[in-house]
């Protein structure tokens, strides 16, 4: 195999491949990226068995073929080379990388391409289209709420389900819940709700353009996504996702509305004295104002009052600082409404005016 390509384009895709690869063992083919040069360009493939990636870039091929090389070192080589064309030549035992404009060469050991795992595939007819901006918004509003408790593996991903008029995504770690539902014009095939690992969602969020469409396909075992020149797939998480509908309050008795930026900024300042283990922050509600307070034993305390629309009884609610900050960061609105019935029961964060998403947070014990 021998080809010449533009360095920056090659570097960008090899870096993407490196994000997929989990193993750092240079002797394992799982640490390698597969390069397959042919008449239609260079195919670049990577996998960690659970997540698979494939893309294609235009190159000048003088000798078609394929090989796998240690992705970490290839990425390091490419980042050290100035802009311009590079040449890569490989056989069954080694690959040589060199810029066409500089007297330097790098040699990497290769592993035969037939040792590389076969990537999952699906019939093209199984794909359906979702506007990229809508799907990326769904990811942003949910993925941060995924549980990292491996003993509750069924909450280690985002639940994706088909609705009557589109798609819904839900994430929860047992103390908070994030929900978003999008109405879509596309015809979406019937599928049972699935639990999607956050890794593929982060990759889509990072790499997909905000414009155009993302093609998705869902099977019992895998999620497939296509956008631009990329094809990504992921093994789904097996298990029964919690009945999230039980967590969502049918109605709330009280509500206040506050400017989102004011609340985010106040939380940032007050968080200086949040206990790092509990992250307990107090929201003190009184007529026309909300005070955000924190106290770190033996070190100090902070309290900031900001205006809000609230005219009911005085109430204090204790919340995990991160559980209220995380959703506020991704809520694309000027004002936020906080709804609650009692200080010890679930509160609801909604954009004002209400939109297609909301967040549920369980309060902490007042001390």
Q: Are strands 289-296 and 230-235 parallel, antiparallel or unpaired?
A: unpaired
| Number of domains making up the chain | 3
Q: Are residues 257 and 351 in the same domain?
A: yes
**Which residues 6+ apart lie within 8 Å of 206 measured at CB?**
none
Residues spanned by the domain of 32: 2-115
Of 85, 115, 145, at which residue does a domain stop?
A: 115
Type and span of the H or E element at 284: strand 280-286
pLDDT band at 366 (very low <50, low <70, confident <90, very high): confident
Name the β-bridge partners of 60: 4
Cα 304 versus chain centre, distance: 32
Chain segment 234-253, per-residue pLDDT in tens = 999 999 999 999 999 999 99
Residue 366 lies in a domain: no
pLDDT at 229: 94
Q: Are residues 228 and 270 in the same domain?
A: no
Q: Are residues 262 and 315 in the same domain?
A: yes
pLDDT band at 79 (very low <50, low <70, confident <90, very high): very high
Residue 367 lies in a domain: no
Name the token pair of 267. 């939380």
Name the β-bridge partners of 110: 69
Q: Are residues 268 and 215 in the same domain?
A: no
pLDDT at 65: 96
Q: Is the pLDDT of residue 24 over 80?
A: no
Q: Are residues 344 and 284 in the same domain?
A: yes
Q: Is the pLDDT of residue 227 over 70?
A: yes
Q: Are residues 238 and 268 in the same domain?
A: no
When pLDDT is averaged across residues 75-90 and rounded to a whole number, the result is 95
When pLDDT is averaged across residues 141-158 and rounded to a whole number, the result is 95
Residue 260 lies in a domain: yes
Name the token pair of 96. 């040589």
**Which residues 6+ apart lie within 8 Å of 185 measured at CB?**
none
Residue 350 lies in a domain: yes
Q: Are residues 63 and 158 in the same domain?
A: no
Q: Are residues 283 and 326 in the same domain?
A: yes
When pLDDT is averaged across residues 132-148 and rounded to a whole number, the result is 97
Q: Are residues 267 and 357 in the same domain?
A: yes
- Residues above pLDDT 70, as percent of the chain: 99
pLDDT at 102: 87
Is the whole-model pTM more than 0.85? yes
Let me know: does 70 contact 21? Beta carbons within 8 Å.
Answer: no
When pLDDT is averaged across residues 161-188 and rounded to a whole number, the result is 95
pLDDT at 37: 97
pLDDT at 297: 79
Nearest to 338 by CA among 262, 252, 245, 250: 252
Chain segment 263-307, per-residue pLDDT in tens = 999 999 999 999 888 899 999 999 899 999 999 878 999 999 999
Q: Are residues 129 and 237 in the same domain?
A: yes
CATH number at residue 64: 3.10.150.10
Residue 59 lies in a domain: yes
pLDDT at 195: 98
Residue 325 lies in a domain: yes
By CB atoms closer than 10 A (0-12, 13-18, 19+), residue 256 is: buried
pLDDT band at 367 (very low <50, low <70, confident <90, very high): low
Q: Would you call 61 helix, strand, or coil by DSSP?
A: strand
Q: Are residues 241 and 255 in the same domain?
A: no
Q: Are residues 138 and 195 in the same domain?
A: yes
Of 115, 135, 160, at which residue does a domain stop?
A: 115
Of 93, 115, 137, at which residue does a domain stop?
A: 115
């Amino acid at each position: 195999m021998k080809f010449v390509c533009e360095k920056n384009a090659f570097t960008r895709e090899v870096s993407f491949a490196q994000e997929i690869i989990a193993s750092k063992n240079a002797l394992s083919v799982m640490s390698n990226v597969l390069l397959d040069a042919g008449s239609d360009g260079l195919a670049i493939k990577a996998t960690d068995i659970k997540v698979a990636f494939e893309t294609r870039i235009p190159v000048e091929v003088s000798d078609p073929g394929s090989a796998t090389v240690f992705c970490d070192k290839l990425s390091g080589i490419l980042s050290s080379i100035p802009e311009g064309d590079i040449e890569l030549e490989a056989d069954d035992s080694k690959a040589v990388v060199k810029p066409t404009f500089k007297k330097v060469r790098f040699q990497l050991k290769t592993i035969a391409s037939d040792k590389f795992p076969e990537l999952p595939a699906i019939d093209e007819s199984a794909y359906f289209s979702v506007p990229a901006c809508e799907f990326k918004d769904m990811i942003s509003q949910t993925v941060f709420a995924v549980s990292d408790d491996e003993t509750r593996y069924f909450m280690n991903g985002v639940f994706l389900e088909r609705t009557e008029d589109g798609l819904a995504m839900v994430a929860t770690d047992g103390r908070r819940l994030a929900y978003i539902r999008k109405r879509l014009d596309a015809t979406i095939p019937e599928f049972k709700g699935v639990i999607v690992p956050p890794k593929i969602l982060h990759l889509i969020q990072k790499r997909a353009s905000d414009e155009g469409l993302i093609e998705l396909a869902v099977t019992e075992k895998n999620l497939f996504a296509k956008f631009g020149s990329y094809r990504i797939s992921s093994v789904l998480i097996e298990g029964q996702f919690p009945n999230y509908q039980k967590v969502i309050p049918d109605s709330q008795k009280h509500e206040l509305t506050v400017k989102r930026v004011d609340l985010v900024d106040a939380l940032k300042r007050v968080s200086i004295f949040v206990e790092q283990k509990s992250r307990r922050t107090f929201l003190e509600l009184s007529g026309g104002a909300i005070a955000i307070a924190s106290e770190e034993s033996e070190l100090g305390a902070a309290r900031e009052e900001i205006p809000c629309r609230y005219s009911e009884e005085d109430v204090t609610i204790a919340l995990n600082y991160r559980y209220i900050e995380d959703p506020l960061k991704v809520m694309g609105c000027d004002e936020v409404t906080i709804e609650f019935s009692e200080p010890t029961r679930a509160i609801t964060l909604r954009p004002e005016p209400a939109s297609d998403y909301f967040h549920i947070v369980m309060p902490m014990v007042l001390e």
